[in-house]
Amino acid sequence: MRIFLDTANIEHIEHGVSLGVVSGVTTNPTLVSMEGHKDYRAMVKKICSIVPGPVSAEVVVEGAPAMLEQAREIAAWATNVVIKIPATAEGLEVTSALKKENIKVNMTLCFSVNQALLAALAGASYISPFVGRLDDAGHDGMALVKDIVDVFKNYQDLTTEVLAASIRHPLHCIAAARAGAHIATVPYKVLLQMIKHPLTDIGIERFLADWKSVSGK
């Protein structure tokens, strides 16, 4: 399973990429607004220049014609940009049009297997089931990820990758990997939590102390 960072924070992206474990980034309008970026184009271009893989940038207009126009504009900003389109009827229309133009789509706000199947048929490169938001609503978000992975496995011609989104904690990452998600997009805080283990820190402390006692340094 690959790891993407779910953020628009430049420092966090630089750190994640420098660790050699982050191979993509997903943003959304909320994440962009949290960072106070005023120039959407400059922000997307900057992130695309840092990340060695796909960077999802969401369309922020409504209606298929306007979404299509904005998607084409965003797609021209960088070669590794992927357009985030919501899983709606208009979104499917836009996705299938973009597919014909070889523009990659990450279909977002997915809450059902049917939405995922339709996204794949429309030609989306990625489908993003929102695990945490389903959990918040009293459903089993990770069960959806597993169901989508299982359904896609039945059909070799469905090449859409399952991108587990709305990840809230490290256990979600383990469950996404167990479920067979191709990618999990994680907040920076979760990436740090995935790295950290208290026994590793205690072990380093003890090794260094023991080394000091024999070497006298």
Binding residues for ligand E4P, rule: CB under 6 A, are: 6, 26, 28, 108, 128, 130, 132-133, 165-166, 185
Q: How far is the CB of 4 from ligand E4P (least distance, A)?
A: 8
Q: Which residues of 78-89 are buried (b: 16+ CB within 10 A; e: fewer)?
A: bebbbbbbbbee
Per the annotation, the verdict on 84 as an active-site residue is yes
Helix (H, G, I), strand (E, B) or coil at 4: strand
Task: Report which secondary-structure segment, H or E, holds 43.
Answer: helix 40-50
Cα(189)–Cα(116) distance, integer angstroms: 27
Which one, 94 or 176, has the nearer CB to ligand E4P?
176
Q: Distance (Å, rounded) from C-alpha 82 to C-alpha 13? A: 17
| List 84, 100, 153, 212, catalytic entry | 84
Q: Minimal distance in Å, beta carbon 201 to ligand E4P? A: 28
Residue 15 CB, nearest distance to ligand E4P (Å)? 19
Q: At what angle do helices 188-195 and 170-179 cross, to 10 degrees?
A: 90
Nearer to ligand E4P by C-beta: 6 or 161?
6
Residue with smaller CB distance to ligand E4P, 99 or 133: 133
Which residues are the active-site residues? Answer: 84
